Amino acid sequence: MAVLEITIKEGKFVQTNSIKVEEFSENYVRGNGWEAFITPNGRIKCQAIQKDENDIEHKMYYVIDKKGSSWLRYKKGMEPSIRLKHCYVVPKGESIKNGTIGLSGGSIQKRYVYFRNEALQNFLMEYGISKINRLNPNKIYQGYMIFNDDEKYYSTIVSDGEEEIITNTPDEKERLTKSLATSKDLTVRAEKTSVKNSTWVLQTIQKQLGSKCEIYRVLYSLKSFKDLNIPAEYKVK
């Protein structure tokens, strides 16, 4: 699902990503099914409203106060609201005046939101990272290159740990190909990698159909990005 990203500089909205917006000002943005506000006291408030087939309103609220404490709530019709998430989006003492808000589209029950401070957003952009999974990076990863003249599916990893290659069985290769590709005449190369003693794993996933190419990078780590020593050779900018 598409994600509207709104950049904040010095406590004001300054720009959005490629997602179309219907209205934009330094303290109000409307787009991707959301409204986002910066209040006079510096709070950030976002809300999304959808009606279902029974004309019942479903609402999602996201609020960040000046100290970085955030709440995400969901409300259906006249029922009491449900708190889905409560956390601090910046370290103690840091400001929310500079950062990026992400507001996903799609069905309101499946929507998600996030706030990234400026340092984290810059780190993600430098390495081309689409998502951080706060999981133990020491596990088995499926790598593959499946392609023909019209399609290409690619997945590989790099890490700071020890890597051991595990050969895929023919049945595993067949199941993998069926789960990804649409054509039958494909070249398939696949192997798994077991990672041990790592603090981070960076996975690159590519999908290409004709001239359309999508590339995602996922970072697996339990550490703060500030404590990771990812070599500069993996930067994309």
Reported as a single tens digit per residue, the pLDDT across 43-74 is 999 999 999 999 999 999 999 999 999 999 99
Closest to 137 measured CA to CA, from 214, 180, 89, 193:
193
Residue 193's pLDDT is what? 96
Question: Does the model's pTM come out above 0.95?
Answer: no
102 vs 60: CA distance, rounded Å: 14
In order along its 237 residues, the chain shows pLDDT tens digits of 789 999 999 999 999 998 999 999 999 999 999 999 999 999 999 999 999 999 999 999 999 999 999 999 999 999 999 999 999 998 888 889 999 999 999 999 899 999 999 999 999 999 999 889 999 999 999 999 988 888 899 999 999 999 999 998 888 888 888 888 777 788 888 999 999 999 999 999 999 888 888 899 999 999 999 999 999 999 997
